[in-house]
Structure 1
Amino acid sequence: MLHDLDNTLETLLRQELPAEMVAATQISFAAPDAESIGSRPAINLFLYDVRENLELRSGFESFERRGDGTAVRVRPAVRVDCSYLITFWPKETDGRSVPKDEHRYLGMVMKALLRYRKLPAELLQGDLAGQEPPLHTVSLQSGYLNSMGEFWQAMGGKPKVAINYTVTISVPVHGEGEIVPLVMESRLSTAG
């Protein structure tokens, strides 16, 4: 499912960003450092955290009636927050990057993502297609990183401007559901 989310986000950015930017840049999901990005300018979406969204946890089962006097007990999917750290890696000139280019391109990425509070259904890839409820996004929140400085130090690089972006997906973990009989009549008796 995570690769389907990566593919969905890449499709969204390729659709929403200016054509000249899409043609001149690559979209990468590698660790955010210059060596893994390559020589072309790149938009990097680094999936740094995947965790269950406990606020959206549901213990309620649903029952779907069938025509044969039975129903299927369907347990709810687990809601999972997938958090990305998005950076832009401009092409270096004379061994240095140009911060204005980095900020301009990252600003275009930010604008494209902020257009959607839910990922458009027609862009959802693979197992994400047709998910209910819709895939909600959260942009520009603090995310789950405690310290950006510590993050960049752990990555062995210099700090960069970054966007936190979280998408909540549904992960069906209970299979097809359990067939159960329906109650078709009730009887009331009185003790006499």
Structure 2
Amino acid sequence: MIHEVDEALRLLLVDAGLEDSGVDLVFDAPTKDWSARRNAPTVSVFLYGIREDATRRRSGTSEEYDAEGLVTGRREPPRWFELTYLVTAWTNRPQDEHRLLSEVLRCLIRTRAMPARMLTGSLADLALTVEMEAASAGTGDRPSTVDVWSALGGELKAAIDVRVWAPLSGEVAPAGPPVTEGLLVRTAAAVDGEATDPGRRLRYEGPTAASGEGFAAERERRLPPGRRKRGGGAAQ
């Protein structure tokens, strides 16, 4: 799922014309060594945070079907995760970096949810809304930008925080094959635990539906001797 969110972000920025202007788009960590090797205008989209959004956790399962409409498995509900990215621009002059970062910001803030055409793999299969938020107010339970730069060993510079909420598809438990035979009951009389005759076999063919021949089909109910039916005389 993570690489599919990366691809959605890449397509979003490409659609805004980022690569057409000769800018490299990468997902590398913007460390000091990396920045020293850079030789072209670059936008780095660095993933630095992954955590589950527990408020969206659900229980239960949904059924998976094959082409013939038979149940093949039961899928757990998806788990939602918040992915946090640090987006930075790199050029030879701060003014050019700010101009490039402004173009990226304009593209990101006008997108509240990833367009369906940019979702691939499991994200496209689930067909759920993948929300995103750029340059939002920080919360106390997330690492600060200063902490991220300190961990990277680089110097603090202007950056855009981008958060994406994406589902991770649940596991599928295979279902057993459907019942295709009727219920079979064997009875046999026994003396001291040993059968005295082969006994009887009762077979009800087909599904046990009320309209069929199975155990669920409606049958006349006989009352014990001496019991009366409602509104009538004694049962015969």
TM-score band, normalised by the shorter chain? 0.7 to 0.9
- Give the counterpart letter for 1:101 in structure 2: D
Measured after TM superposition, the shift of residue 81 of structure 1 is 1.2
Using a 3 Å threshold, how does the CA distance of structure 1 residues 184 and 14 change in structure 2: closer, same or farther? farther
Helix, strand or coil at the partner of 1:104: helix
Report the equivalent of 2:11.
11
Measured after TM superposition, the shift of residue 73 of structure 1 is 3.4
Alignment partner of 1:164 is 2:161: yes
Using a 3 Å threshold, how does the CA distance of structure 1 residues 5 and 157 change in structure 2: closer, same or farther? same
Measured after TM superposition, the shift of residue 123 of structure 1 is 1.3
- Give the counterpart letter for 1:42 in structure 2: T
Q: How does 1:97-176 map to 2 (within 5 A)?
A: 98-141=93-136, 142=138, 145-175=142-172
Measured after TM superposition, the shift of residue 136 of structure 1 is 0.9
- Give the counterpart letter for 1:134 in structure 2: T
Alignment partner of 1:39 is 2:36: no
Worse overlay, 64-73 or 99-108: 64-73
Where relative contact order (Cα < 8 A, 6+ residues apart) is larger, the structure is 1
Using a 3 Å threshold, how does the CA distance of structure 1 residues 74 and 127 change in structure 2: closer, same or farther? closer
Q: Which ranges in structure 2 are unaligned for 5 or more consecutive residues?
A: 179-207, 211-215, 218-226, 228-236
Using a 3 Å threshold, how does the CA distance of structure 1 residues 116 and 87 change in structure 2: closer, same or farther? same
Question: Are the aligned partners of 1:137 and 1:165 in contact in 2 as well (CA < 8 Å)?
Answer: yes
Q: Which ranges in structure 1 are unaligned for 5 or more consecutive residues?
A: 93-97
Using a 3 Å threshold, how does the CA distance of structure 1 residues 162 and 69 change in structure 2: closer, same or farther? closer
Using a 3 Å threshold, how does the CA distance of structure 1 residues 63 and 127 change in structure 2: closer, same or farther? closer
Q: Distance in 2 between matches of 1:184 and 1:70?
A: 19
Report the equivalent of 1:78.
79
Using a 3 Å threshold, how does the CA distance of structure 1 residues 68 and 99 change in structure 2: closer, same or farther? closer
Q: How does 1:52-91 map to 2 (within 5 A)?
A: 52-63=52-63, 72-90=73-91
- Give the counterpart letter for 2:120 in structure 1: Q
Question: Are the aligned partners of 2:88 and 2:160 in contact in 1 as well (CA < 8 Å)?
Answer: yes
Question: Are the aligned partners of 1:24 and 1:41 in contact in 2 as well (CA < 8 Å)?
Answer: yes
- Give the counterpart letter for 1:122 in structure 2: R
Number of aligned residue pairs: give it. 182
Measured after TM superposition, the shift of residue 88 of structure 1 is 0.6
Question: Are the aligned partners of 1:74 and 1:178 in contact in 2 as well (CA < 8 Å)?
Answer: no
- Across the aligned residues of Structure 1 and Structure 2, the Cα RMSD in angstroms comes to 3.1
Helix, strand or coil at the partner of 2:146: helix
Measured after TM superposition, the shift of residue 163 of structure 1 is 0.8
Larger Rg: 2
Question: Are the aligned partners of 1:17 and 1:108 in contact in 2 as well (CA < 8 Å)?
Answer: no
- Give the counterpart letter for 1:12 in structure 2: L
Helix, strand or coil at the partner of 1:32: coil
Question: Are the aligned partners of 1:84 and 1:164 in contact in 2 as well (CA < 8 Å)?
Answer: yes
Using a 3 Å threshold, how does the CA distance of structure 1 residues 155 and 178 change in structure 2: closer, same or farther? same
Report the equivalent of 1:95.
none
- Give the counterpart letter for 1:58 in structure 2: R
Using a 3 Å threshold, how does the CA distance of structure 1 residues 25 and 16 change in structure 2: closer, same or farther? same
